[in-house]
Amino acid sequence: MDHRWHYVDTVRSTMSAILYPLQVMVDLSTSPFRSISHYFTSKAALIEQVETLRIRQMLLETQLQRMVTLEAENRRLRRLLHSSMETRQETRVAEIIAVDLDPFSRQVVINKGSNDDVFPGQPLFDANGVMGQVIHVGPFSSTALLITAPSHATPVEVNRNGLRAIAMGTGAPNRLNLPFIPNNADIRVGDILVTSGLGGRFPPGHPVATVSRVENLPSRPYALVEATPTANLDGIREVLLVWTNPTNELSEAETEPSQVTPEANHSP
Amino acid sequence: MIPAHPHSWLIISVSFAAALAITLFPVPVLLAPLRPDWTTLVLIYWIIALPHRVGVGTGWVVGMFQDAATGTLLGQQALGMTVVAYLVLLLYQRIRNYPVWQQAIIVMIFVALFRVIGAWVLGVIGRPVGFSYWLPALTSMLVWPLVFLVLRHIRRRYHVV
């Protein structure tokens, strides 16, 4: 029943609410280990880290200034073309709760739930790329499936030429499989795969993985293509939740309310 | 039917919650497949010790919570726990009289059975299991003496009946 029809989702979300204190407790009990490792980081290393981050911040701010104008221009052009493709997004930071789930299914628990408008199917990112999507939502926490899970498939396209493909999880922590790519397709090692937006779950244009291996198998119809996820799937605590169609309350908080155009509401 | 005894239930629930917390505790990736089935061990202990209080129903509830907590299909581990609880209830008088090392072997068989049922469910939904799926049966056998001694100490110390 749980597998196909989701009749028992309410049961599951109630149970996850009951279990939330336990998860937080486990999470807190791991914090001494983290603080020990902080304690042993030297002052020089910290200064260096701050310095690097400051430089990076500056570079990114400059890029962001350009990005703002580009985004505005892009929206204006799209309106001219009557295209309904939505580029605006709402993001919020969630934290991964340090609990281990079933080691064979590649899932994580995050500390935001339906109280924070998280919904099933919502995409999850980190600073480098796509991480996965939310599958179960409880009131205070939710469970997300990583893109490396064997049961997860991400619609992607090659950034260089727009070749569409599907990136299947393998269960291994940093490997994706791209089945059904013909032997003569134009794909090379080092190509960046971005989300294609097909399937409607992931917004288009976010980096997913870099191609790490391409092997043509003349005896088979399809080539063997493997890729490495760009997101740091194992070693990160802060993740970004993305709302592609912001809720009313969020768009009111937006600084430029005039940009909520009618065609934005019609977008799928 | 023995009247409910809130104090005993508290201790038993806390022990199950602790087992679940240990199950959720993050460990390095290499050690994760070796994690013993702590809640199954605690369940087996309480059934052997207090068969009038802990049984199939408890196994089911604990299994459901473990399913919700570890993100498996709701009912997958509950089914395994229910079957294991039933078999332990049939055999508890015998298991009680075995020395601890012999109990450990029986426990390994029960945990393996629990895993077989899990593997069957996973197979039905199209997720075949690998070799490392079976390792917890062995590690559960190795930690059984520890679980047994600790829980027996707690039971005697707090007069859980």
Structure-block tokens of residue B58:
């408890």
Could you say which of B21, B33, B74 has the minimum Cβ distance to residue A2?
A: B74
Digit-coded pLDDT (tens) for A222-257: 888 999 998 888 777 788 888 876 443 433 344 344
Task: In whole angstroms, give the CA distance from residue A263 to residue A154.
Answer: 27
Closest-CA residue of B relative to A135 is B71
* Residue B16 included in any domain: no
Digit-coded pLDDT (tens) for A172-183: 878 899 988 888
Considering chain B, what is the average pLDDT of its residues? 89
* Residue B10 included in any domain: no
Q: What is the DSSP letter of A257?
A: G
- Flag if B27 and A143 touch (Cβ within 8 Å): no
* Residue B120 included in any domain: yes
More confident residue, A240 or A79: A240
- Flag if B69 and A26 touch (Cβ within 8 Å): no
- Phi and psi at residue A191, to the nearest 5°: -65, 145
Average pLDDT over residues B18-41: 86
- Flag if B69 and A23 touch (Cβ within 8 Å): yes
pLDDT of residue B82: 95
Q: Which residue has the tokens 């996820």?
A: A229
Closest-CA residue of B relative to A29 is B25
Q: Decide if A139 contacts A13 (C-beta within 8 A).
A: yes
The tally of domains found in chain B comes to: 1
Determine the distance in angstroms separating the CA of B40 from the nearest CA of chain A, rounded to an integer. Answer: 15
Task: In whole angstroms, give the CA distance from residue B118 to residue B128.
Answer: 10
- Decide if A74 touches B, using CB distance below 8 A: no
Mutate to test the interface with A, among B74, B79, B121 (most CBs of A within 10 A): B74
Determine the distance in angstroms separating the CA of A44 from the nearest CA of chain B, rounded to an integer. Answer: 28
Task: In whole angstroms, give the CA distance from residue A259 to residue A251.
Answer: 9
pLDDT of residue A211: 92
- Phi and psi at residue A139, to the nearest 5°: -65, -40
Q: Decide if B160 contacts B50 (C-beta within 8 A).
A: yes
More confident residue, A143 or A265: A143
Q: Decide if A156 contacts A193 (C-beta within 8 A).
A: yes
Give the pairing type, strands A238-243 and A123-126: antiparallel
Interface of A with B in 207-246 (CB under 8 A): 234
More confident residue, A4 or A155: A155
Report the complex ipTM.
0.71
* Residue B83 included in any domain: yes
Beta-bridge mates of residue A240: A93, A125
CA angle B134, B139, B145 (to 5 degrees): 140
Please list, in sequence order, all residues whose beta carbon lies within 8 angstroms of the beta carbon of residue A192, skipping any fewer than 6 positions away.
A158, A159, A160, A207, A209, A210, A211, A230
Average pLDDT over residues B56-69: 92
Closest-CA residue of A relative to B125 is A3
Q: What is the CA radius of gyration of chain B?
A: 15
- Flag if B24 and A99 touch (Cβ within 8 Å): yes
Structure-block tokens of residue B133:
């799926």
- Flag if A15 and B73 touch (Cβ within 8 Å): no
First-last CA distance in chain B: 13
Taking Cα atoms as reference points, which of A185, A184, A176, A173 lies closest to residue A154?
Answer: A176
Could you say which of A15, A100, A103 has the minimum Cβ distance to residue B68?
A: A15
- Flag if B127 and A8 touch (Cβ within 8 Å): no
Task: Count Cβ atoms within 10 A of the Cβ of residue B45 and give its class: 0-12 exposed, 13-18 middle, 19 or more buried.
Answer: buried
Structure-block tokens of residue A125:
């990112």
Domain that includes residue B80, residue range: 35-157
| Chain A neighbors of B69, CB-CB under 8 A | 15-16, 19, 22-23, 99, 101
**What domains can you pick out in chain A, each with its CATH number?**
9-39+85-147+235-266 (2.40.10.340), 153-229 (2.40.10.350)
DSSP for A92-106 reads EEEEEE-----TTT-
- Decide if A104 touches B, using CB distance below 8 A: yes
Please determine, for residue A35, whether its predicted confidence score (pLDDT) is greater than 70.
yes
| Chain A neighbors of B23, CB-CB under 8 A | 100
- Flag if B26 and A107 touch (Cβ within 8 Å): no
pLDDT level of residue A266 (50, 70, 90 thresholds): very low
Determine the distance in angstroms separating the CA of B97 from the nearest CA of chain A, rounded to an integer. Answer: 34
Q: Which residue has the tokens 């090659």?
A: A158
Could you say which of B26, B72, B132 has the minimum Cβ distance to residue A30?
A: B26
Q: Which residues of B touch chain A, with CB atoms under 8 Å apart? A: 17, 20-21, 23-27, 29, 32-33, 35, 64-65, 68-75, 125, 127, 129-130, 132-133
Task: In whole angstroms, give the CA distance from residue B151 to residue B15.
Answer: 8
Structure-block tokens of residue A251:
């768009």
* Residue B49 included in any domain: yes
Task: In whole angstroms, give the CA distance from residue B99 to residue A78.
Answer: 77
- Flag if B21 and A173 touch (Cβ within 8 Å): no
Give the pairing type, strands A192-195 and A153-158: antiparallel
Average pLDDT over residues A40-44: 77
Q: Decide if A225 contacts A190 (C-beta within 8 A).
A: no
pLDDT of residue B15: 94
* Residue B15 included in any domain: no
Q: Decide if B41 contacts B23 (C-beta within 8 A).
A: no
Please report, as a single letter, which amino acid is at residue A161. N
